[in-house]
């Protein structure tokens, strides 16, 4: 059965910062008014910026501490998801809500109770759970005291967290995702691994890949622990996909595409799905002077505990060229503008066929079940008379859903689920703002935390609801 669903992420949705005893890395990201560099600045955090975020008299607004107040509205939001009719709900856990510093022996019971409500509601209402265990948020204490994922000790702290989750909620989860968009650890290191940027230098390539390697080991050990504890459910890898095209038929453009696709898109999933480092990383590591301390135990773990399914986020396609060309934004990356595509207000190029292409490529590469774990349209919505008319989002859904059907029915891709991103409005992880909304439920809050935070069903809510009802036996 094909599942239609929706997703939120703890740091972007929950808020409830005052009830947490510890900060995480997303709590340190300030809102900066949108300009040519704001989105980049909010993803390149230095020690100075983090120290400023901890000062009480700081005048900057930190949107991830508020999210869209899901902590306060959780019961109302769950009822909205039930009314919408989704069959799978993807949500994430806030590590610091359960273990504020990441080193505690016992969890924060307020956090446990909060998540109990979500698991219980989904189980009672037969909504399958796709659980993201860690979504772009690391306890700041672990980053400052241990260096975060650059330190191999981080693996054990993560496993302590995972063991509690398995014992408390392990029987309730259908799909497990240890790490969100794991390849972001390469092209967006602060988001992906919590790696702090040196004040006057770029990220260390060595530290980026050390961090990723430790996440690979943690992923394998998490699956190993789940099997030991007889935890049911499937374990998946997730990457951010970009559907690369060469700008021209020049051989140089196409070769550059192959190399960029390998490192940006396939590397992490190749390790997690195939259980070993791919051949092409040997030359990359040599050229970038990366020396990973991969033990024989690491190699065995990766080989013995690969993932069961592959999932990916997809919002827009990208273009690669060796020449100078006009640039535009994308999900966490900048790309060359495609003259054949329209784009959102944020420059993300709208390409439904790119989703079908990506489904084919991913399935061809791994030959296992595929889940679209994130997709949607970020746009400015206007609330008027308690209504939001968003035909642009409906058009986006409709065009992308048609391509999913083609991939499934014409191309025979084993795609099992579609999960709409930010099903209830959340703070954008890319730009730290509320203006870029994805949800079918509008939340009345602005970029600086003003508003009632009341919920309103958009036109797209009713459209998606009707669509699910008419396609619930796929």
Question: Could you list the active site residues?
Answer: 374
Task: Please state, in angstroms and rounded to a whole number, the distance separating the CA atoms of residues 185 and 181.
Answer: 8
Q: For 356, left (φ over 0), alpha (ψ -120 to 50), or beta?
A: alpha
Contact 461, 422 (CB under 8 A): no
With CA atoms as reference, report the closest residue to 312 among 361, 263, 245: 361
The dihedrals phi and psi of 203, each to the nearest 5 degrees, come to -60, 145
CB within 8 Å of 405: residues ≥ 6 apart = none
Q: Which residues share a beta bridge with 59?
A: none
Q: What is the DSSP string of 298-325?
A: HHHHHHHS--SEEEEEES--EEE-SS--
Q: Which residues share a beta bridge with 128?
A: 88
144-148 — which CB contacts under 8 Å span 24+ positions? 144/50, 148/25, 148/193, 148/194, 148/195, 148/196, 148/211
CB within 8 Å of 373: residues ≥ 6 apart = 7, 90, 130, 177, 236, 238, 311, 312, 313, 417, 419
Contact 19, 425 (CB under 8 A): no
Rg (CA), the chain: 21
What distances in angstroms separate CA 111 from CA 83, 95, 107, 165, 374, one per listed residue?
Answer: 26, 9, 8, 12, 25
Collapsing DSSP to helix, strand or coil, 404 comes out as helix
What distances in angstroms separate CA 208 from CA 177, 185, 204, 279, one per listed residue?
Answer: 21, 7, 6, 19
**Pairing relation of β-strands 309-314 and 88-92?**
unpaired
């Amino acid at each position: 059965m094909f599942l239609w669903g929706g997703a939120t992420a703890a740091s972007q949705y929950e808020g409830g910062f005052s009830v947490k005893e510890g900060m995480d890395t997303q709590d340190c990201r300030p809102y900066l008014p949108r300009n040519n560099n704001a989105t980049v600045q909010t993803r390149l955090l230095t020690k100075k910026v983090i120290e400023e975020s901890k000062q009480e008299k700081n005048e900057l607004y930190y949107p991830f501490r508020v999210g869209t107040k899901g902590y306060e509205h959780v019961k109302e939001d769950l009822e909205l998801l039930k009314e919408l009719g989704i069959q799978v709900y993807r949500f994430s856990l806030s590590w610091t809500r359960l273990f504020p510093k990441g080193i505690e022996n016992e969890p924060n019971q307020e956090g446990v109770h909060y998540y109990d409500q979500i698991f219980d509601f989904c189980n009672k209402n037969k909504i399958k759970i796709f659980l993201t265990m860690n979504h772009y948020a690391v306890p700041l204490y672990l980053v400052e005291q241990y260096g975060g994922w650059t330190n191999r000790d981080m693996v054990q702290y993560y496993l302590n967290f995972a063991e509690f989750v398995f014992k408390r909620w392990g029987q309730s989860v259908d799909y497990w995702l240890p790490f969100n968009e794991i390849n972001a650890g390469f092209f967006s290191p602060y988001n992906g691994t919590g790696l702090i940027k040196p004040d006057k230098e770029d990220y260390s390539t060595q530290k980026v890949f050390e961090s990723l390697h430790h996440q690979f080991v943690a992923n394998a050990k998490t699956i190993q622990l789940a099997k030991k504890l007889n935890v049911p459910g499937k374990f998946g890898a997730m990457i951010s996909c970009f559907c690369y095209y060469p700008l021209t038929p020049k051989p140089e453009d196409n070769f550059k595409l192959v190399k960029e696709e390998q490192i940006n898109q396939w590397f992490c999933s190749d390790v997690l799905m195939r259980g070993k480092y791919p051949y092409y990383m040997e030359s990359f590591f040599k050229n970038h002077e990366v020396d990973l301390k991969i033990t024989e135990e690491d190699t065995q773990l990766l080989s013995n505990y690969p993932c069961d399914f592959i999932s990916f986020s997809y919002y827009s396609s990208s273009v690669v060229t060796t020449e100078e060309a006009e640039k535009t934004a994308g999900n966490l990356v900048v790309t060359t503008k495609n003259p054949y595509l329209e784009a959102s207000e944020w420059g993300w190029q709208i390409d439904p066929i790119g989703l079908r292409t990506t489904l084919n490529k991913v399935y061809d590469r791994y030959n296992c079940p595929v889940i679209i774990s994130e997709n949607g349209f970020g746009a400015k919505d206007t609330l008027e008379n308690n209504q939001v008319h968003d035909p642009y989002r409906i058009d986006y859904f409709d065009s992308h859903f048609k391509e999913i059907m083609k991939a499934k029915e014409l191309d025979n891709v084993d795609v099992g689920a579609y999960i709409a991103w930010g099903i209830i409005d959340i703070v954008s992880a890319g730009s730290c703002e509320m203006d870029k909304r994805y949800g079918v439920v509008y939340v009345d809050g602005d970029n600086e935390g003003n508003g009632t935070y009341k919920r309103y069903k958009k036109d797209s809510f009713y459209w998606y609801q009707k669509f699910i009802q008419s396609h619930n036996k796929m």
